[in-house]
Amino acid sequence: MELDKMDENDWKYHGEGNKSLVVSHVQHPRVLRLLKYPAEDSENPPQTAEQAYRQIQNIVDFSSNVMSSLLGEKFIHSGEVVKLPLEFVRQLSIKVQHQRPWRCDKVMDIYSGCALCLPNLTSPALHQPTHTPPLCIEIKPKCGFLPSPKHVSKDIKTKVCRYCMHQHYKQVANGKWKRRSFYCPLDLFSNRQRMHFAIKHLIEEPQNNFKVFKGGQCIYSSKEGSDESPDMNSLLHHLRPYFLHANNRINSHVTSKAVLNDFIQVSRGLPSDSVLFRILQTQMLDTLDIEGLYPLYRQVEQHLQDFPKETRLQIEGPYNEAFLEKLQKCPAEDDGSVEYAVAKVHQYRVAMTAKDCSIMVALVPSSEEEFSYSASILDLDPKPFDSIPRQLRLDQKIVTCYLRTGGALP
Ligand code: ATP
Ligand code: MG
Ligand code: MG
């Protein structure tokens, strides 16, 4: 990529989350991931260009030095920070603004010129004997286990998973999604049959947990705040050519149900070398639940107030091997030391990242009935230390709402 010859016409809107906006190159399998700011800050960037650069470098370091060693190097592409010409970024922001389907309460950062350059995981360069474009499934699985009763104040937390309670909360309390998803992460992280069940529910109601790409283009996803369901017929139309050999045919016509079934079955690409297993293991570094962790967070916070010059604890990085070592060599018991508290906080933050990442499974037809698979994990940003109190409050709100309304919808 020649940074001095950047042209906004070579890039197009690809997707976005809460923190970043992604554009993809129209020819090369590459994306740029740019930061987003709240729209009210658009005239007044909340951080300097140096701070933005540092933030993205931290993301790269966290992904490559910490998450990749926990999740498995072969799934992770950490990318590199690039410094783009400001004029290019401004033109790009104008170009993509009207293509953005949602989340316009935030705007793309046009001030720092910094971005993360990554391979485009939706158009992987797998061995391609056919000319069929790759199919790509993105799943944001969320937390796949229940906390231990030892650390939680409400019994319900050990019975109903956090995602399911959060779904309920989003519907009851803030109407963010008009329809409820019956996806449950505990299913996805379970046996084959329950995994298929989970994927069926993700297809029915993708929200922001499921997307399908074909040849690098998103062809199936939910629209936030919309009460329409995504277009299943259009998905089937796209999928049909990939599943012409589906088992259930009527007069040599492959039924929609068969296409969908075969599509669900391709999720066998998911546990390849246990991507899911590695993600779950990393999520489970949250051993104390937010309730058990919070007092340790306070202890660290107090320590930082007492010793403001202390950087040895690496709270805001650097995310290097020493950071990884701190969380891996955590004492088994709470000995009251700040080292123990910090190690648990580090573990919790790593677990939060693993609860928020996405899996991208690319499928390329390799013969008439076979696919070759490649799986990667993306969105591995470090979660800020000071987001922990917010996590506790959100947890309390979600659980209270669930208990108040008995898990039933009004
Ligand atoms: P979240 O709100 O989930 O934290 P985020 O703001 O951190 O999201 P990402 O999840 O990294 O942003 O990116 C947003 C979307 O862009 C992803 O869900 C995915 O569809 C797409 N995307 C991100 N990185 C890549 C990549 N390397 N290749 C292809 N698509 C990507
Ligand atoms: Mg994401
Ligand atoms: Mg993210």
**Could you tell me if 266 and 182 lie in one domain?**
yes
Decide: 262 in ligand 1 pocket, CB within 6 A: no
User: In sequence order, what are the residues at sequence separation of 6 or more whose Cβ sits closer than 8 angstroms to the Cβ of residue 369?
Assistant: 245
134 lines ligand 1 (CB under 6 A): no
Separation CA 15–CA 99 (nearest Å): 10
Tell me, what's the pLDDT at 252? 58
The count of structural domains within the chain is 2
- Which atom of ligand 1 is found nearest the CA of 19? 6
Q: What is the mean pLDDT of residues 271-300?
A: 92
Would the CB of 106 count as within 6 Å of ligand 1?
A: no
90 and 153 both lie in a single domain: no
Give the least confident one: 156-170, 242-256, 285-299: 242-256
CATH number at residue 39: 3.30.200.110
Domain-embedded: residue 102:
yes
Question: pLDDT per residue over 218-231, tens digit each?
Answer: 999 997 767 778 99
Q: Are residues 258 and 193 in the same domain?
A: yes
Average pLDDT across the chain, whole number: 90
374 — pLDDT class (breaks 50, 70, 90):
confident
Q: Taking the C-alpha atoms of 251, 257, 260 and 264 in order, what is their torsion angle to the nearest 10 degrees?
A: -120
Q: How confident is the model at residue 251 (pLDDT cuts 50, 70, 90)?
A: low
Given a cut of 90, whether residue 409 has pLDDT beyond it is: no
User: Does a structural domain hold residue 212?
Assistant: yes
CA distance 112 to 57: 13
Say if ligand 1 is within 6 A of residue 138 CB.
yes
41 vs 38: CA distance, rounded Å? 6
Q: Verify that 143 and 202 share a domain, yes or no.
A: yes
Residue 71 belongs to domain spanning? 3-119
Q: In whole angstroms, what is the distance from residue 81 CA to residue 78 CA?
A: 10
Q: Answer yes or no: do 167 and 229 share one domain.
A: yes
- Confidence tier at 78 by pLDDT (50, 70, 90): very high
Could you tell me the distance, in angstroms and rounded to a whole number, from the CA of residue 357 to the centre of ligand 2? Answer: 6
- As given in the structure block, the two tokens for residue 214 are 């074909």
| Residues 115 and 149 grouped into a single domain | no
Structure-block tokens of residue 131: 């000319």
Question: What spacing in Å lies between the alpha carbon of 254 and ligand 2's midpoint?
Answer: 34
